[in-house]
Every structure is written in structure tokens, then in C-alpha cells.
Amino acid sequence: MSAKKRGKSASQRAIAFLLILQTILIGVNAENRLQQGNSPIEVLIWMINQCIPVLKQASSLQEKQKTSLLPTHRRSKDK
């Protein structure tokens, strides 16, 4: 495996780990909100609003990865 691929793979793993960690922290914060007496519906709406940016980040990273895997002649056509 080349150094470039290893570096890309390591950074992708790090980003994936951070997105997972962010999602876990949203869940922990939601649990705290429930224990403080917020209604489950309120907490669910809050969680959805918190998870949308995480999903956008993951989608963006997936698109970047897909683009980087395409041959060079295909990349220019897709843009």
C-alpha cells in the first residue's frame, strides 16, 4: 500500500471515528435532556436537528471519496 493510500485511509478512519463520537455525544446529551424533564418529543426533535449536520458531513465525505476513486477523465465530466 502506498503512503498516499495509507494517509488517506488513516484520515478517513479518523473522520469516521469523529462522526461516530459526535453522534454518541448527541445521544448522551439527549439522555441528559430527558432526565432534566424535557418531553421525549422535544428531545427527539432536538436530536434530529443535531444529527442533520452530521449526516451532511458524512454524505459530503462519501461524495469526495467517490470522486477521488473515479478515473481522471470521468471526474471532469461529472462536475
**pLDDT on residue 70:** 67
- pTM reported for the whole predicted model: 0.66
pLDDT band at 59 (very low <50, low <70, confident <90, very high): confident
pLDDT mean over 48-61: 88
The answer, yes or no, to whether residue 77 has pLDDT greater than 70, is no
**String of DSSP letters for 7-44:** HHHHHHHHHHHHHHHHHHHHHHHHHHHHHTT--HHHHH
pLDDT in tens, 12-29: 888 889 889 999 999 999
